[in-house]
């Protein structure tokens, strides 16, 4: 089992970058939008699942799911990269 996870204080976190990753806003598999505005009648939900790549596929295959997107939540590093989040030095978690 893993030991206790310590979330870094903001002054201990990686700095990050001003520029966010360039995204198309379109899901790579189903071609639907992944950022608002969405069509009327849709709701949003967020799940923190740890390693998100495999779990995202399960969600986009479900009936009634319009689109999915993965990313990071929490943390203090500005616009972190995947490798930075995996380092444990950003305070983020995968969503």
Q: What are phi and psi of 72, to 5 degrees?
A: -125, 150
- Those residues whose C-beta lies under 8 Å from the C-beta of residue 82, and which sit 6 or more positions away, are none
Given the residues 44, 51, 53, 54, select the one marked as catalytic. 51
Cα–Cα dist 6/43, whole Å: 33
In the annotation, is 51 catalytic? yes
Give me the active site residues, please.
51
């Amino acid at each position: 089992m893993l030991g206790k996870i310590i979330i870094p204080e903001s002054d201990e976190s990686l700095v990050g970058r001003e520029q966010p990753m360039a995204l198309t806003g379109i899901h790579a598999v189903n071609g639907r939008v992944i950022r608002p505005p969405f069509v009327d009648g849709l709701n949003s939900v967020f799940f923190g699942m740890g390693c998100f790549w495999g779990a995202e596929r399960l969600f986009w295959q479900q009936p009634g799911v319009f689109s999915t997107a993965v990313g990071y939540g929490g943390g203090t590093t500005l616009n972190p990269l995947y490798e930075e989040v995996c380092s444990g030095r950003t305070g983020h978690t995968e969503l």
